[in-house]
Structure 1
Amino acid sequence: MSRLVTVLNGPNLNLLGQREPEIYGSETIADVERACHARANELKLEVHFHQSNREYELIDWIHEARGRAGGIVINPAAFTHTSVALLDALNAFEGPVIEVHISNIHKREEFRHHSFVSRRADGVIAGCGVQGYELALLRLARLIDATG
């Protein structure tokens, strides 16, 4: 199985470190990307890292990952709670998917408790801050190794 992992970030994550730092922390999306590349290097993974505020771009990147990537890490952000289209795209992806949320969505507003993406995800990491991305990569490395 490919050791390429696609890391996808949804809307407003480009404002990470500026928007609601009391919830999301002070690290930026660039900090997250650097940490992902460093952890991936340790795990002998290759990472393609993307962020978009546009649902269709996330869907296109999921489609591109088909047949190429060994797994997907996705923080769908607000699309978590609204996007059947992301769920459908992820259902067409053959490898494992790990869903990441920086905050604990279950301690927040009621509407954040529902995730369409979770219906497809092989694991969900929430409330671990940006470290959740590194945990997701660790899990994907294990899953990729297990299917060897």
Structure 2
Amino acid sequence: MSATILILNGPNLNLLGRREPALYGRETLEDIAAACRARGETLGFAIDFRQSNLEGELVEWIQATHTDVRGIILNAAAYTHTSVAIPDALRAVGLPVIEVHLSNVFAREPFRHHSYVSPVAAGVIAGLGGQGYVLALDAMARLVETEAARTSDPQT
């Protein structure tokens, strides 16, 4: 069984492609999922790609990670700026996390400049649209590889 990367998407991302296309583009969440699955295959990872408008459901998915999940890529959307439950769940499972945003949150309203997720993330990718997810997969592959090497090294 191949290792899995869990990719979670928060509220309103199910509307991509038709929601504010001038800001978010015409790419749909299904388009992004397909690109992630294709990249995951080349990297040797299974991709578990999900979206929910419900904060509690995202928390439950994070808590339910199992031994074959090696990392989490998260676009918490609006919950990035409001949820303390999501980063608490991320800390609890102890997996590497990469935070992704389609738009450049720092070029937007001031309330979007603060992230509750960033302190638990290994890195943040923002402003590159759907390509940010593919870049996050490349970065996650490196994190997973580094962790595997560290834990298999008998001198650590």
Give the TM-score normalised by structure 2: 0.91
The aligned amino acid for 2:108 is R
Aligned: 1:118 with 2:113: no
* SS of aligned partner of 2:61: helix
- In the alignment, which residue of structure 2 is the partner of 1:109? 109
Letter of the structure 1 residue corresponding to residue 21 of structure 2: P
Give distance in 2, aligned partners of 1:36 and 1:51.
14
Specify the code of the residue in structure 1 equivalent to 2:115: S
Could you say which residue in structure 2 is the equivalent of 1:9? 9
- AA partner of residue 122 (structure 2): D
Q: Give the corresponding residue for 1:142.
A: 142
> Residue type of the partner of 2:49?
F
Q: CA deviation at 1:107?
A: 0.3
8 Å Cα contact 2:9-2:76 kept in structure 1: yes
Q: Which residue of 1 aligns with 2:40?
A: 40
Please say if 1:133 is aligned against 2:133.
yes
1:147 to partner: Cα distance:
1.6
Query: How far apart, in 2, do the equivalents of 1:122 and 1:11 lie?
Result: 22
Matched with 1:63 is: 63
Residue equivalent to 2:154:
none
Between the aligned residues of both structures, percent identity stands at: 55
Q: Would you say 1:92 and 2:99 are equivalent positions?
A: no
Q: Report the RMSD for the aligned CA atoms in angstroms.
A: 1.0
Provide the C-alpha distance between the structure 2 equivalents of 1:16 and 1:68, rounded to a whole number of angstroms.
Answer: 29
The answer as to whether partners of 2:75 and 2:101 remain within 8 angstroms in 1 is yes
Letter in 1 for 2:57: E
Q: CA deviation at 1:66?
A: 4.7
Structure 1 segments, 4+ long, off by >2 Å, are: none
TM-score normalised over the length of structure 1: 0.96
Separation in 2, partners of 1:52, 1:129: 19
Structure 2: gaps spanning 5 or more residues: 149-156
Paired position in structure 1 for 2:78? 78
Q: Counterpart of 1:104 in structure 2: which amino acid? A: N
Deviation string, structure 1 residues 82-130 (Cα, Å, up to 9, x no partner): 0000010011122210000000000000000000000101110000111
